[in-house]
Structure 1
């Protein structure tokens, strides 16, 4: 995946230091990034929100980090990611990991690509130094470079 990060995470998929009123608005921003990059239709954004409404805030996978996603569906045009850094963190309802300031949108075209991209991102974000660096990165290019380290 590291070699493909530019394809999976193009500049159009980033929203940096943007406000969101609540977790639904934060997921909607992640969906906007996926749509802008040509990875999904708006229907996938609704599916991501419905997933949290049904399953709870399990997408908040680490302190301050939500991995917004839903199952592969017709609304996914191709596998890709969006990256939303919120200007003010929002609560998702996760006791251990709220509030969230980084929402990564994940669209998997099929189950294998979905899992592959998800594990590559999780692997990059498990490193505390990378996480700190990502918080301070100013551009999509800097963020991609940190993820590829």
Structure 2
């Protein structure tokens, strides 16, 4: 295999990552100025998943219940939370939603306030692993990412940013 072949393989892998990430989110992106509670934020993210048939209604309640039981462990980085529940709690397929909260919301974490609520569901314990790796890449500077996302006017700008991010990773 020559250098060009290797470059094409790397490029192909990055394009696949970008497409996987965008496919996982689909049109499940909402931008709000504010929410009153972290529970409301989780519920909105869950409703985006439910609307597309990715989860059953009880999955949303389970996401909130898990956060109450285990604390704000879902706030994985400054300004970012990834609420979820177990596959058996009503996940029908793999999917992700993104809620951008311009004024932020507190989950009770040292990483508060949260501006990006990335809810996800997976029907098994493996389907989401690749997505989490991609998420880790894009969240390397979560504070800068949150600043970018809260400045966007609509979900198309967010999708364009994701495309550009994975394009830069490749160069």
Normalising by structure 2, we get a TM-score of 0.77
In the TM superposition, structure 1's runs of 4+ consecutive aligned residues that sit over 6 Å from their partners are: none
Q: Separation in 1 of the partners of 2:88 and 2:154?
A: 31
Q: Separation in 2 of the partners of 1:69 and 1:130?
A: 21
* Structure 2 partner of 1:120: 134
Q: Does structure 2 retain, via aligned residues, the 8 Å contact 1:18–1:84? A: no
Q: Does structure 1 retain, via aligned residues, the 8 Å contact 2:100–2:149? A: no
* Structure 2 partner of 1:67: 82
Q: What is the CA-CA distance between 1:93 and the residue it aligns to?
A: 0.7
Q: What is the CA-CA distance between 1:7 and the residue it aligns to?
A: 2.4
Residue 97 of structure 1 is aligned with which of 111, 115, 127? Answer: 111
Q: How many residues align?
A: 147
Unaligned 5+ runs, structure 2: 1-16, 166-171
Q: Separation in 2 of the partners of 1:24 and 1:131?
A: 20
Q: What is the CA-CA distance between 1:4 and the residue it aligns to?
A: 2.3
| Cα RMSD after superposing both structures | 1.8
* Structure 1 partner of 2:24: 8
Unaligned 5+ runs, structure 1: none
- SS of the equivalent of 2:128 reads helix
- 1:43-62 matches, within 5 Å, as 43-62=58-77
- SS of the equivalent of 1:104 reads strand
Bigger Rg, structure 1 or 2: 2
Q: What is the CA-CA distance between 1:130 and the residue it aligns to?
A: 4.1
Q: What is the CA-CA distance between 1:107 and the residue it aligns to?
A: 0.8
- SS of the equivalent of 1:111 reads coil
Normalising by structure 1, we get a TM-score of 0.87
- Pair 99,127 (structure 1): closer, same or farther in 2 beyond 3 Å: closer
1:84 and 2:99 correspond: yes
Report which of the two has the higher share of strand: 1
